[in-house]
Amino acid sequence: MEGKIDGALINPFMIVHPFEVLVAANKAVHLHRIGKMKTRRMYSEIIYNLSPTNNISDAFKRFGTSDSDTAVLIVLVHPTDETRHMTEVMAKVDGQQIPVEDVSKMVDTAQIKKLYRTTPQEDSCLLDAVVCRMAVKDVI
């Protein structure tokens, strides 16, 4: 990894639904504004926020990308009307682009259930179970 892409590189197999990423990004922006981020950069904070635990390196390991990964979800935070950076990043990616909604099709459900320790009662809506744990993790 050379650090040439300024954005959050996420392992898409660990994402149940794009909403989850929006929640993580929203929280990162919020904590960035009030100066209470747990990690150093906003993009690392997004990855950290996805994790159910407060262990930073663990979060990077599970939700970040590694060399062997075959897919990546790139998250950028930018002002609504400023999309130049996005085109730049897209130019750097050598691969097939898919609509963000299709991320849900790649999810490794078994792994998600194990990592977030969801109960069988929560199976009816895994996304809610995951988002809840993300939102509440700093007071558990």
Partner 1 sequence: MAVDGRSVAVQQFLKKTELIKQGAEARVYRGIFLGKPTILKERFPKLYRHPLLDEKLTHRRTVQEVRALLRCRKAGISAPAVYFVDYTCHCIFLEDIVGSVTVRDYITSIQLSPQKSQEERLDHLAKKMGLVLAKMHEEDVIHGDLTTSNMLLKVGGDTEEADLFLIDFGLSYISALPEDKGVDMYVLEKAFLSTHPNTEALFEKLLKAYTASYRKSHSVINKLNEVRLRGRKRSMVG
CB of 120 to partner 1, least distance (A): 8
CA distance 115 to 110: 9
Closest CA to 73 of 106, 49, 51: 106
The first and second tokens of residue 68, run together, are 């062997």
Question: Please, which residue, 26 or 83, has the CB nearer to partner 1?
Answer: 26
Interface positions with partner 1 (CB under 8 A): 19, 22-23, 26-27, 29-30, 33-34, 118-119, 121-122, 125, 128-129, 131-133, 135-136, 139-140
Question: Please, which residue, 49 or 65, has the CB nearer to partner 1?
Answer: 49
Q: How many CB atoms lie within 10 A of CB 61?
A: 13
Question: Please, which residue, 14 or 131, has the CB nearer to partner 1?
Answer: 131
